[in-house]
Amino acid sequence: MGCSLSSAGGGGGLASGDSSSSSQLRISQAAAGGPWGLQPDGGVGRLSLEAKIVLLGDSGVGKSSLALRFCRGRFPQYHEVTIGAAFLQQTVRVDKEGSQVKLYIWDTGGQERFRAMAPLYYRDAAGAVVVYDVTAPSSMDAVKFWVRELKQRGPANCCIAVAANKSDDYQDEEGEEEEEEEGKGDTEERREGPDEEDGETSAGQREDENEEKKKKKKNDKTSLDAVAQRREEMRKYCEAEGMTFIECSAKTGYNVGLLFEQLAKEVFEHLRDNMVADL
């Protein structure tokens, strides 16, 4: 697994044995075409890389929110459907020497009508983040479609990370379940005592409420179990395909930085290794 190293049409490429240009190597393209570049950055052992990253996945899974959280540090209050593609950028430090990767992040529309245009956006991409919504099984099924698309029609050896977004939804449910268990004893003790004057409840009403709570808890548990099962299935799939798998939440910011930083490091290491091998 890795990222392809390509030269711009008519531009500089990696010429084997060209030692005169090796120390100042730079491979670049216009930002709209998917920038690449690797060059010394003024420090000992420090390099600077430019890489195009594309976000893929069904509509509504949170691709735009992930990009905004990572690049702008905020979660959008109002969600607008991405038409075609949007463009953001952010720089990531990738090693102790201070080497950096400038990520040009392309956020693509996930609607069915835009799928035919997707190859235009991930052409020349160094990496891709395939996003799905942990609460929407159909979006998880679409992950395999996007991965297959990338491997068949995208750049060779494009680095791929799979993002399980909206993990805060089921994490909140797990937390509520734990709190219920912790407070169960106190609740039972309170029920043994006399009813409060202002909140007197009949035994029948209380029994109905308890039944409703049990049903809700059972449904929530079933939902959590299903999410956990799908998560494990996706983890195994990514492992088999040699892809990074990260659970994250654009809403809370959980693991969003880790997602892009890990992908940036992988892009950097692969492109750097290709450069050394081809010199």
Identify the pLDDT of residue 262.
97
Identify the pLDDT of residue 160.
97
Which helix (H) or strand (E) element contains residue 127? strand 127-133
Q: How confident is the prediction for the chain on average, in pLDDT?
A: 73
Identify the pLDDT of residue 157.
84
Identify the pLDDT of residue 87.
80
Measured from the Cβ of residue 151, the count of other Cβ atoms closer than 10 Å reads 14
| Distance (Å, whole) CA 14 – CA 27 | 8
Identify the pLDDT of residue 175.
46
Identify the pLDDT of residue 218.
45
Identify the pLDDT of residue 39.
58
Ordered structural domains, the chain, with CATH: 19-169+222-278 (3.40.50.300)
Tokens of 234: 């996706």
Residue ranges in the chain modelled with pLDDT below 50: 1-35, 175-198, 213-214, 216-220
- Whole-angstrom CA distances from 267 to 2, 20, 51, 93, 229 are 7, 25, 8, 12, 30
pLDDT (tens digit per residue) in 126-162: 999 999 999 899 999 999 999 998 999 888 889 999 9
